[in-house]
Structure 1
């Protein structure tokens, strides 16, 4: 029996329908500062990309990874390229706070949701029409800062020195700490700034030393967090040193050595995972991520890599909902993806538990941080 030949139009329509169902693909751009001053943050983020989900329901997910070399202008170029040439449905990154701030306008104009694994809350606050396209996968500064100020109050700190990066990360921290310390009755007696690429902060450290603060807080992300503290140590400063979650990486311990012993910070439970109770919902997720990363790369990841991993978990949950309202590669899908991310409820991830709202695009509560100190050259839960 001879089979009838399908009309060309019907055949093409059938083929298109098959292709649409079998090869539907979500494209996600990833921008990490794998080189340059922010590389200690960007390398574990880039290395985490192979661990992100590549299949969500019936959809495959492709990741296009780019390095912006820690340069804000290069971040903008990368975002434009991902949007115009790759037609991405979402972007994870960039690594640095200034880099992310510079790209918000472009992702908003294109209607592409961006999951920013950066420190500063300025990428999502104050919320506006542009920032509604941005979601932040790290703890907002105020959650970390409140824990630090509470500790300072209990420890009897009356005067505080600040030294931070002259960028959105350091600037927002200065703003948040100014409000919290005033309420707590702690006086900021010195506030200094430096560039991430600076090789010396002697002048700033001398001014802080001259103010004789009871404690000093360094507000800098990644490798630059080490220099102010080691400089103050070498100058003989004996007060308590505090750091933000920006210092939560293995290289802080390696580069700082004995000079960072006794440092106090509030950060992710990942740093002290063996000391965290098994009942903590994030412990298993974090343990699985660390094990997979170590198997692939031969070393343990910094928490910055986990911020990209969590972005993958957020997308994994949001994509099926978005797919009901549009096909990947369309404006409808991206808008629905943004809406679905904003409706995230109690998503357990490596850093804590995410619950997003139209006003809160970070989604962390106090489950997103623990108090940590440096003891005998290692991280230890502060007790």
Structure 2
């Protein structure tokens, strides 16, 4: 009986310890279906790779809950509310497009839950910026890189074609602003929907203007349309894109029509081509190993790398917050947000992160390079 009592006591102690084990709960929203699933699936894979590589924050386990927003901003907002109200998440992460990201940001701000965005953000009010940051580079930072490349290579006129949505507006606004600053004339602003099957009319209008260069403000597989049409019509000028092109599905769809596209991207895209002194190189190569461990048959990509960076930021901030509060409480959520805003020189795959209150962005010029697509591979451009 004494032995049995000891066993029962020991089991009871284990159960008690398990009952009070700390868990950080993370809600991750991504577009696993719908028009932007070619981005959403890699985003989700990056979070999975991060979770498998680093499954604890200090002495707390990390629980990852993943939901599909079906490429719909309204669904993204509903998912955010579900994760907050039903799952009591400590942190939100997501999603695959600007509209969905901003929908989640509104819910996070209202509920006072930290939100780490993995895609570019736009028109963030000071109030919203109190509860969100983005690991994605500011659109202006990236577009400025290709505009500077245009200027350095003698481009005097440029035409634009982009999505008829928030991402298309972001890219266009950045191009318009910096082109004017460096003396490049902007000739066209043509748009199309992500679901359109043809852009022949728009490209004919652009070709009639005879621009020195064309920038497409697009992303994912729908981004291939303008480049395919430009190739078909024999355009000979310089062709640029955004960092939304750095995607294996885009390369597959665009095929040979993609040769010589120039685009900005985070250093992770060409990690092995970086000098050893680059602070991103070691982390980027470690991410590739983590991704391959999680997905032996998959290929690391720029979108999953953003999620991996978000995971590194999450682990750092939630560990720091545990010094001040217990997970699962409003106090802890505030402590996590405080820790995020105090992040200093955190090396990721895309850049080195430094955050401060009032701005959702944490990267600088170390977070961008210009690459050229050749034979289905991105090559570091010698600017």
TM > 0.5: yes
- In the TM superposition, residue 253 of structure 1 has moved relative to its aligned partner by 1.9
SS of 1:106's equivalent?
Answer: helix
Residues 126 and 359 of structure 2 are in contact (CA less than 8 Å); yes or no, is this contact kept in structure 1? Answer: no
Residues 260 and 372 of structure 2 are in contact (CA less than 8 Å); yes or no, is this contact kept in structure 1? Answer: yes
Q: Residue 291 of structure 1 aligns with which residue?
A: 289
Matches within 5 A, 1:1-383: 18=17, 22-51=20-49, 52=51, 53-119=54-120, 121-122=121-122, 125-297=123-295, 298-383=297-382
- Counterparts of 1:17 and 1:131 in 2: how far apart (Å)? 40
- Counterparts of 2:142 and 2:82 in 1: how far apart (Å)? 34
SS of 2:280's equivalent?
Answer: helix
Residues 136 and 306 of structure 2 are in contact (CA less than 8 Å); yes or no, is this contact kept in structure 1? Answer: yes
Q: What is the TM-score with the length of structure 2 in the denominator? A: 0.91
Query: CA offsets, 1:188-215, max 9 Å, x none?
Result: 1001111122222222222211221110
Residues 342 and 361 of structure 1 are in contact (CA less than 8 Å); yes or no, is this contact kept in structure 2? Answer: no
- In the TM superposition, residue 359 of structure 1 has moved relative to its aligned partner by 3.4
Query: CA offsets, 1:10-68, max 9 Å, x none?
Result: xxxx9998567x41111100011111111111111212233223211111110000111
Residues 30 and 67 of structure 2 are in contact (CA less than 8 Å); yes or no, is this contact kept in structure 1? Answer: yes
Q: What is the TM-score with the length of structure 1 in the denominator? A: 0.91
Structure 1 232/129 Cα, relative in aligned 2: closer, same or farther at 3 Å? same
Residues 95 and 116 of structure 1 are in contact (CA less than 8 Å); yes or no, is this contact kept in structure 2? Answer: no
Residues 46 and 303 of structure 2 are in contact (CA less than 8 Å); yes or no, is this contact kept in structure 1? Answer: no
RMSD: 1.9
- Counterparts of 2:357 and 2:325 in 1: how far apart (Å)? 21
- Counterparts of 1:136 and 1:194 in 2: how far apart (Å)? 26
- Counterparts of 1:149 and 1:292 in 2: how far apart (Å)? 34
Unaligned runs of 5+ in 2: 3-12
- In the TM superposition, residue 326 of structure 1 has moved relative to its aligned partner by 2.1
Q: How many residues align?
A: 368
- Counterparts of 2:76 and 2:363 in 1: how far apart (Å)? 26
Unaligned runs of 5+ in 1: 3-13
SS of 1:358's equivalent?
Answer: coil
SS of 1:102's equivalent?
Answer: helix
